[in-house]
Structure 1
Amino acid sequence: MPRRSGPAHVQYVTVHGHRRAYVRMGTGPALLLLHGLGCDHTTWAPVLESLARTHTVIAPDLLGHGESDKPRADYSLGGYANGMRDLLTLLGIDTVTVVGHSFGGGVAMQFAYQFPERTERLVLVASGGLGPEVTPAIRAITTPGFHQAMAVLSAPGIRHLTTGAMRLLAGSGVSQLRDLGEVAAIYDSFKDPRARAAIRHVVRAVVDWKGQIVTMADRAYLTEAMPMCVVWGADDLVIPVGHASNARALAPTAQVEIVPNAGHFPHKDHPERFVKIVRDFIRSTEPSRYDRDHWRDLIDAGPPEAPVQAEAGQSPRSPVHAVRRAAGA
């Protein structure tokens, strides 16, 4: 039965014994929206209804987040990509345009790498995986004692006082503080010890004390026939906007959109502009079509020149020119 756009209704499905929460809205070509670290599907609330007017929108709570289960499990990027493939299979969806925010961008890239036959396009929003720099607050999660310290800091009195102050500051009109509302929601979720443990496992898989350790640089050439769009807030204090330049170096023909007066959540700061960017990108590109022989040839040839991992503060030194839009490919 066709699904109509309207208020988001959370549904549940069990995958490999674990309950997964997700929202499904609208009809048309499928969009998979992947949230960031410590967030859930509600981060997409400002854009869900608009996108659902033209697309079937699937917005899950990743395992360990939101209303999904938080087991002792595989919280690697590969594990998350597998989980999204299995969720889509159960929902009867074969191919999607994947939109990933922050950590969800890393999952989106991994999904496209592991399952190119199911990926039509890639939209990265303030994404991880494009450079080493990341806010010290995320690096702190990898340190010994984080779980115990957060158990104290997330006690009711301290948590209510801190999250209340964050939300007040977020509404102060000071641009550098705009993201504190989202940070408050993430902090509040740490009251659940299972959520704290899951987040710690997630971060340790992709970040160490120096910053991000997972990058798409060495495999970017495999996305040769896959259209890619990169969206970033000009005032992002979580992952520097300079990483959008890294994306340009890895994928010279990717569409890059820098949103003025936006922080780490451009889809929340300027939802109408974000929806327009996504819709225009989809309209202007043809979906990627997987060709196994072509994929094998790409792997056999390797990148034009081996990418060099960027050090903090630098752009990747790589002339990778193999990322092209699928139109005409």
Structure 2
Amino acid sequence: MVDRTHQTAVVEGHRMHYLAAGDPDAPPLVLVHGGIIDAAHVSWGGVLESLARDYHVVAPDLLGYGRSAKPDVTYSLSFHVDALDSFVETVGLESTAIAGISMGGGAALGLALRSSAAVDRLVLIDSYGLGRELANGWLTALLSKTAVFNKAAIALMRRSRGFTKASLENIVHDTDALSEDAVDAVWEEVKRPGVGRAYRSFRAAEVTSDGYRTDFSDRLDVLAVPTLLLHGAHDEVFPHRWSERAAARIPDSEFHLLTECAHWAPRERPAAVIDLIREFVPQ
């Protein structure tokens, strides 16, 4: 068993909590979670300790999430890229591998495009930032400007673990196949004060009537970082064709489609995620 420790860094004047595990002298691997109701231990809790046997794993709670500070800011993707950039520098990581899921993938990709010297390997899982089309078109755009439905869902999730598990059907192919730990992690996180506010801000900033605001597709041909793209075959949040298309544009990349998986690969297919990262990131 590899122990994880809770640590804190001050990033752009705000306290950022992160989990650290593994030998500090091992190759560094930063794990970046997604949005909605998420934190380092929520999306990465099922793979973190296994990866820490081979890497020095550092998994931050992005600002606005988990145990990190929740400043009154606009949580756009560019904000998260800036904060991730500052975090990597603050904790003293040089030329690190970074794996990001969903919104966290978009932040990791944004950092790699900004500074290839800061990132030496990039793993994008069901990543944001690879396309503009909205999953549900005008309905997604409408909901992005309306907070009441998200707040109501969170209130119901806080009252019922069963409702929490059922809600995960939006991002999971088979909720009955999820570990109890995965469901419990979300159920506990949803009770945290202020949960959901950062995601609602992100959604309002990033969703427009014409599609997602941030799309790095036209810059992928200059990405100078070896990149692994993983995507769930049943993902209804971001289509897997985004990652397939991106892999064709990134000079040094590989793509894997994950069967029996939707949008939450580290929790739905943890063994596959661990194996593929180990094969791709030097130890």
Say whether the fold is shared (TM-score over 0.5): yes
Aligned pair count reads 273
Identical-residue share of aligned pairs (%): 29
Question: In the superposition, relative to structure 1, how do residues 166 and 139 fare at CA in structure 2: closer, same or farther (>3 Å)?
Answer: farther
Read off the aligned partner of 1:142 and give its amino acid letter. S
| Separation in structure 1 between the aligned mates of residue 128 and residue 255 of structure 2, nearest angstrom | 15
Question: In the superposition, relative to structure 1, how do residues 139 and 102 fare at CA in structure 2: closer, same or farther (>3 Å)?
Answer: farther
Query: How far has the Cα of 1:85 moved from its partner?
Result: 2.4
Question: In the superposition, relative to structure 1, how do residues 168 and 77 fare at CA in structure 2: closer, same or farther (>3 Å)?
Answer: closer
| Separation in structure 1 between the aligned mates of residue 253 and residue 216 of structure 2, nearest angstrom | 14
Answer yes or no: is the 8 Å Cα contact 1:170–1:178 preserved in 2: no
| Separation in structure 1 between the aligned mates of residue 10 and residue 140 of structure 2, nearest angstrom | 30
Q: Which residue of 2 aligns with 1:217?
A: 217
**Higher-Rg member (1/2):** 1
Q: Which residue of 2 aligns with 1:142?
A: 144
CA RMSD of aligned residues (A): 3.1
Q: Which residue of 2 aligns with 1:21?
A: 17
Secondary structure in 2 aligned to 1:130? Answer: coil
Query: How far has the Cα of 1:217 moved from its partner?
Result: 1.7
Query: How far has the Cα of 1:26 moved from its partner?
Result: 1.0
Q: Which residue of 1 aligns with 2:33?
A: 35
Q: Which residue of 2 aligns with 1:199?
A: 199
Q: Which residue of 2 aligns with 1:159?
A: 157
Read off the aligned partner of 1:279 and give its amino acid letter. R
Secondary structure in 1 aligned to 2:240? Answer: coil
Q: Which residue of 1 aligns with 2:241?
A: 242
Answer yes or no: is the 8 Å Cα contact 1:30–1:56 preserved in 2: yes
Q: Which residue of 2 aligns with 1:121?
A: 121
| Separation in structure 2 between the aligned mates of residue 243 and residue 9 of structure 1, nearest angstrom | 35
TM-score (norm 2): 0.83
Give ranges in structure 2 of 5+ residues lacking alignment. Answer: none
TM-score (norm 1): 0.73
Answer yes or no: is the 8 Å Cα contact 2:129–2:216 preserved in 1: yes
Query: How far has the Cα of 1:96 moved from its partner?
Result: 0.8
Deviations 1:133-171 (A, max 9, x none): 344486454124x1x44444544xx33456523426869
Read off the aligned partner of 2:231 and give its amino acid letter. W
Question: In the superposition, relative to structure 1, how do residues 152 and 278 fare at CA in structure 2: closer, same or farther (>3 Å)?
Answer: closer
Answer yes or no: is the 8 Å Cα contact 2:145–2:204 preserved in 1: no
Answer yes or no: is the 8 Å Cα contact 1:105–1:125 preserved in 2: yes
Q: Which residue of 2 aligns with 1:232?
A: 231
Q: Which residue of 2 aligns with 1:272?
A: 271
Q: How does 1:1-329 map to 2 (within 5 A)?
A: 6-27=2-23, 28-38=26-36, 39-42=38-41, 43-136=43-136, 139=141, 141-144=143-146, 146=147, 148-155=148-155, 158-160=156-158, 163-167=161-165, 175=173, 177=175, 194-223=194-223, 225-251=224-250, 253-283=252-282
Give ranges in structure 1 of 5+ residues lacking alignment. Answer: 285-329
